[in-house]
Amino acid sequence: MFKYIKALIFLVPFLTVAAFTSTESTLQKISKKYSNAKLVEMSVEKTVTSELLGKETKHQGKIFLAKKKFRWENTTPEKSLVVFDGTTIYSEQTPPKELGGEVQVAKGKVDKKTGAHILISSLLGADLEKNFKVVETENSENLVKYDVTPLTNDLTIKDLKIVFNCKELTMKELSYKDDIGNLTVMRFSNVSFQKKEKNNLFKYVIPKGAQVTDL
């Protein structure tokens, strides 16, 4: 459960932090566009390829971002929800109808210790260069890819790559490997920058009867 939440949180830091030196202008513009919007809505397709099983699983859903908060609604292959209200992370899993059972909710507070490992510290304003360095960049038409590597060995993320559309000033793709070699690729589409807030998206109430665990 906790690894799943960590994967979901990786999206936000790259939209809110200061730019790397070599690409300062482009990344600052992208960061400003996302951070200035009252609400950012986008579709996301997450593909996870298991190194051990050689199995590929695709997840479809929507992501909402607003002022250091986020919401991820996953619709397939299973229904799930992750909400970060600025203080607490909630992860809700709904069992398949054929299996039945209660909704499962994991929740946890963000502190400096957990923030360092799940990159929440970057979301809250820390400099990504404290955790990563750029090792290569590639340009192709309007797309620019950044290859970055962790500066420490205690992070579980390897081979992190980010693709931006410099014309649209949007993030198009993010990929990484975890500590056991599984590859996760997230592709973003239908990105909408809205001028009105929807604060209710980032408020979470634990369903009655849910099984609750602490992270």
User: CA 147 to CA 132: how far, in whole Å?
Assistant: 10
Outline where the chain has alpha helix (H).
2-9, 24-36, 112-118, 120-123
pLDDT digits (tens, 9 = 90+) for 76-123: 888 889 888 888 889 898 887 777 788 999 998 865 444 444 443 343
Domain boundaries, the chain: 2-127+190-214
User: How big is the CA angle at 122 (ends 10 and 165), to the nearest 5 degrees?
Assistant: 60
Asked if residue 22 lies in contact with residue 134, where contact means CB atoms within 8 angstroms, the answer is yes
Residue 144 pLDDT exceeds 80 = yes
Which of 3.20.20.70, 3.30.450.40, 1.10.10.60, 2.50.20.10 is the CATH number of 2-127+190-214? 2.50.20.10
Which letter does DSSP use for residue 207 in this model?
A: P
Mean pLDDT of the chain: 77
Is residue 22 over pLDDT 60?
Answer: no
Query: Mean pLDDT, to the nearest integer, of 20-37?
Result: 69
- Could you tell me the pTM of the whole model? 0.80
Q: Are 144 and 173 in contact (CB under 8 A)?
A: no
